[in-house]
Amino acid sequence: MSNLAKNQSAESNAKSFNNEKNNAEKNSTQNNNQNSSDNNPNASKADSDTTRPRILVLGAGYASLSLLKGLNRQTLKNAQITLISKEPYHYASVLLHEVASGYKDRQTCRDLQAVLPRGVEFVCDSVERILPHRVECARGAYEYDTLIIGLGFSSDTFGIAGVAEHAMSLIDYTQARAIFARLRENLEAYKRTNDERYLRVVVCGGGFSGSELVASIAIEFAKLARQSGVDASLLRLICIEALPNVLPMFAPHIAQKGRAYMESLGIEVRSSCRILACEDGAVVISCAPSASDASNSTESKQERIESKCIIWTAGVKGNEVMDKSFVCARSRVEVDEYLLPKNALVYKGAESGAGVDSGANLDSGAGADSGKINSGAKSGVACAKNSLIGRTYIIGDCASLIDPSTSRPYAPTAQLAQQEGEYLARVFNTIFANKSLGSTASAQTLESIAPFRYESKGTFCSLGNRFGIGIAKNREFSGLLALLIKRFIEWKWWRKLSK
């Protein structure tokens, strides 16, 4: 397909997605109106059924969908399950770099109504704040007995000046498409002005996302330039990384293979360079002296790189809703081996001004006088001490799970998120195994459930559409084979959603 055809297809897809979102919001509004009560505009018909717990799932990413797709019929029958997502579709976040470059578009998304199991209610709404037993969204409030937070990630600027104002972020499908639109606009602007700043792309961050993004842009931007009648040799792609090399999650010799391929695409890899600030049309960096520096200077050199397309991939944190709702670090809450908050959740703006103990310490004796609220207190189902019902679970990018071998949090990845969702599905399937929900609720406790254990099955990184690097079971891969393995992993995810 030509780039012109891709552009027309992208514009058509954007209109289609906007229509889908409007329709989804309209349907959600109609459902809420039809099921409304005098005191609760968001009460559904099922709310009157106090024998089935209300399980509310926030976010439609890898973790949440792995959970929902793993629930069996008995669980779907014995619980009222609702998914809230701000978009009517799921997008594969591991493919956002290919959307941003224009290599792919809508094939990275799936309509939620088409993939959700029967029995799961879908609400298209934007979560704004989480409170005890209630989630406030843009269009209404939704009550719950059990909450699963899987809201995904947001960009972390680390307090660097100008990043939020002057850099684009690769955090969702909409922003990925905005990056591609910027690339097209910049080519047209160059044709009008001959200003080469429009032909420079600066990617801030040489980790997984940044390296995949800049490699894909290097290939697709050149195609787009030739299609637009612009000399592709004038393009300049720059990747800035603070560490000595890009792709630091891989062993040095594997990362070096990735760097060498990136440089073969014409990408300028600026490692050992700290980003000091982003300005309107420029990035200010400070670079450590290189071994080839003839001056033998030991002082860092400051440099200002001008560009009309600055993209920030240097760091992510949990969803910003977490910071608005809880006292936490980097919008993440540390969880235990059951994916429950390790410590008492402290809500912001809760009426009681108190923390809510949704972790494993329900038997600590803390009551209302001490500001601790049993998170199952309002549930229509009786909860035993240490019961798994009436809790708040946190999965995916909003959870900070400690790796026992390093005493540091696991890196938030799609693989980890999927395993967390699959684990939680097994937990709920165990809880609701019996037809008598009351006896199941009192019987299933933390002590009767095996804890979550993460097992990495490998890591693969694509650098364009012909090369990749990776490692699995202590075996290293590079080149086309690594890329094909990554494509197979992606295919398995789509196959899982289609079942």
Regarding whether 70 and 204 lie in a shared domain, the answer is no
Residue 57 sits in a domain whose CATH number is 3.50.50.60
Residue-wise pLDDT for 51-78, tens only, equals 789 999 999 999 999 999 999 999 999 9
Does 489 map to a domain?
A: no
Regarding whether 350 and 226 lie in a shared domain, the answer is no
Q: Which residues of 101-112 are buried (b: 16+ CB within 10 A; e: fewer)?
A: bbbbbbebbbeb
Regarding whether 412 and 424 lie in a shared domain, the answer is yes
Are 441 and 387 spatial neighbours (Cβ–Cβ below 8 Å)? yes
Does 469 map to a domain?
A: no
Regarding whether 206 and 190 lie in a shared domain, the answer is yes
Number of domains, the chain: 2
Model confidence at 350: pLDDT above 70: no
Domain end, chosen from 316, 345, 367, is at 316
Does 468 map to a domain?
A: no
Quote the CA–CA distance of 225 and 3 in Å, as a whole number: 9
Query: pTM for the full model?
Result: 0.86
Of the candidates 400, 340, 402, the residue with the CA atom closest to the CA atom of residue 375: 340
Regarding whether 307 and 359 lie in a shared domain, the answer is no
pLDDT bin (cut points 50, 70, 90) of residue 362 is: very low
Regarding whether 310 and 443 lie in a shared domain, the answer is no
Q: Which residue has the higher pLDDT, 14 or 282?
A: 282
- Helix (H) and strand (E) counts in the chain: 13, 29
Regarding whether 321 and 311 lie in a shared domain, the answer is no
Strand-pair partners of 81: 55, 120
Q: Tell me, what's the pLDDT at 29?
A: 47
Quote the CA–CA distance of 316 and 171 in Å, as a whole number: 8
Structure tokens at 28: 């959600």
Does 105 map to a domain?
A: no
Domain end, chosen from 255, 287, 316, is at 316
Q: Classify the C-alpha dihedral 377-379-380-383 as positive or negative.
A: negative
Residue 214 sits in a domain whose CATH number is 3.50.50.100
Q: Tell me, what's the pLDDT at 28?
A: 54
Q: DSSP per residue over 43-74, as a string? A: --GGGG-TTS-EEEEE--SHHHHHHHHH--HH
Model confidence at 437: pLDDT above 90: no
Regarding whether 322 and 312 lie in a shared domain, the answer is no
Does 264 map to a domain?
A: yes
Structure tokens at 459: 């890591």
Regarding whether 424 and 347 lie in a shared domain, the answer is yes
Regarding whether 284 and 219 lie in a shared domain, the answer is yes
Q: Which domain does 254 fall in, by range?
A: 163-316
Regarding whether 351 and 230 lie in a shared domain, the answer is no
Model confidence at 247: pLDDT above 80: yes
Domain end, chosen from 289, 316, 343, is at 316
Does 303 map to a domain?
A: yes
Does 475 map to a domain?
A: no
Of the candidates 14, 28, 221, the residue with the CA atom closest to the CA atom of residue 123: 28
Q: Which alpha helices (H) appear in 265-348, and where do they start and end?
A: 320-325
Regarding whether 193 and 241 lie in a shared domain, the answer is yes
